[in-house]
Structure formats: C-alpha cells, structure tokens
Amino acid sequence: MVVLVVATTSDPASIGPAAAFLAMPGWSPGPPIAEAMESFTNGNVRLLKHERSIVAEDDLDQRWQEATGESVSEVIFLSKHTAVSKRPALTVHPIGPFFFRVPHLKEDETPPQGGTPGWAAIPSPRIGPWLRLMQKIAVEQGLVPEFEVTLEATHHGPVTSTPTMFVEIGSTEDHWGRQDAAQAIALVLWKGLGLEDGNAVGTWQRNCEKVLLGIGGGHYVPRHMDIVIKDGVWVGHLLSGYSLPMDMSSQVNVKSSEEVAGMWKHSIKVSYEATKAAFPGGEVIAHLDHKSFKGWQKNAVTCFLQEQNIRIGKPSDFL
C-alpha cells in the first residue's frame, strides 16, 4: 500500500510544497502514469504531479493502481486556499481523505469545485494530528503569528475512493508562492508520513478512541477547532451550516426531524458513515456548534442524531 501525494503545476501553492518535498533525501523517479503526469517515489510515498486543476482529476487513486499495480491507502492533495479576509493561512480539511464531496447538493446539481453530489469521501484520520503538527512546525519556522493555522469545513472534490485530505496555503497570490510556507508544508509531509524517522503521525490503530464529527458553524469551524487543536483528539468530517440546508414553514416547536425538509439529514448521515469508515473500532461522537443554530434548527439536528443513535458530546468528552 502506498500514500499518494498529489500536486499540480498550475497552482503555486501546490507545486511549491511539492518541490520543497522533493528536495528532501530519498527520492527517485517513479513509474509513468499518463501523458502530462510525472511521478516520484520515496519509501511507501508516491508524489504525482499533473498540469490540470487540482479538483479536475477524479479517481487518481484508482488510476494509479491500474497503471502501477500498487494499491493506494490514502491521498493527500496540495492546494491553494482563498479567503475574503486575505489573511495568510495554512489549512487542512476533509473532503474525504480523504476526499470530500459536497454532501448537501442534490443529485441533479453540479458541484462548483468538483466531487459528487450527495456523497462524502472517507476523511483522513491524519487531519487532527496533522493540524497540531502543522501548528508546531509553523511556530518553529517563524510563520506564526503572521500565518493562521486552521481547520476548514468539509468541501469540494475531486473524487477519490480512499481516505483523503487537503493541505493548503492561503490566502492570496502573495502567499501561495511563499517559499517559507512551502517549506513548512513539506516538513509536515516529511515528518507526518514518517520519512524523517519512520514514525508517521496520525496513523489510526483501531484503539476504540473517540472521534469528533463536527456539525454546525462557519467555514473555519472555530468551536470544533478549539477541541481538535488539543493533543490526542481525532476528527472526521466537519459540516458547516452551509452543508445543512433546512426548510420549514413554521420553524417552531420542532419535535421530530421529519418536520424539517432539506438535504441536511442526508449530509449528516453520509458524513457520519464516512467518518466511521475512516476510524474502524472508534466511537464517532457528534459535536454541535450550538450558537450557530437557531432554536428550531438545533432541535431538528438533535432529534435526528437521537433517531440515528448518534451520541452528542460536549468538549470534555473528547479530551
């Protein structure tokens, strides 16, 4: 089984970290995959470079296996992050590992940034541990406090079948090409994948620990982030409010999830199932950003979680 790190030459925040990663020892040319694609190998890590948008190349894990005979255990995408605030940032987020789709869209809707409607990819178990590793490296490299190190909610594609995560540099063109940021991301990969000393960071051991499924909040899920930044916390999908579209006429006295229409229940269900698949043997517990919900919305979500026998936890339950 190999880990596939994916970069695109069309994105400076992707190819910069990839170049810094390849400058570290142990790399050799990898097998040919397809036209306009180049690969490199180092232990059980494979780095794949292509020329298209990072969200345009679906099923790279399956295509790698078909071309090389090597099974892919996870996919890590290197990409740029954009934000209205324009604040410098280093971010990680699920799409599923892995790769994450857009679970709240209907089947006839087209995702604006790749993926498949109504489906959530398996999230990488590394997301929580790598967030903390990224914070440590960013401090050591002098990027903090200029750069914010943060989680993002689950969003966009491309499509994968294996656990996936995105690792990104934000938030403007001035930051995407920063060599110091690229070096920090390369160090996260180098240390996190165990190429430094053989000790990978964030490997799930089926150890019956608790896993946070974040529900509610904005794109940067700050209340979930406050928990995940603590040592030892595992995290799966993170569903912001925009992934939970709800429709109800009266919006009062909600006593059953059936009273509130919309794709929100499907979003929660598929994200819960994908998170369970990422952490076999673990206990997936929902953590709600209560302040981000109106009363009727919180009642609906709580009712649905109870109907699905999904435990709701407090911050102290994960520490």
For residue 250, tell me if it sits in a domain: yes
Same domain, 34 and 95: yes
Confidence class for position 33, pLDDT limits 50, 70, 90:
confident
Residues 6 or more apart whose CB falls under 8 angstroms from that of 179 comprise 16, 20
Same domain, 247 and 129: no
Same domain, 67 and 164: yes
Q: Give residue 296's pLDDT.
A: 87
Tell me, what CATH number does 133's domain have? 3.40.630.50
Task: Give the residue carrying structure tokens 């087209």.
Answer: 110
Confidence class for position 250, pLDDT limits 50, 70, 90:
low
Same domain, 136 and 18: yes
The predicted model scores a pTM of 0.90
Same domain, 292 and 161: no
Same domain, 225 and 186: no
Residue-wise pLDDT tens digits, 89-146: 999 998 832 223 344 444 444 444 444 556 788 999 999 999 999 999 999 999 999 9
Domain extent for 53: 2-193
Of the residues 129, 162, 193, which one is the last residue of a structural domain?
193
For residue 230, tell me if it sits in a domain: yes
Tell me, what CATH number does 258's domain have? 3.40.50
Number of structural domains found in the chain = 2
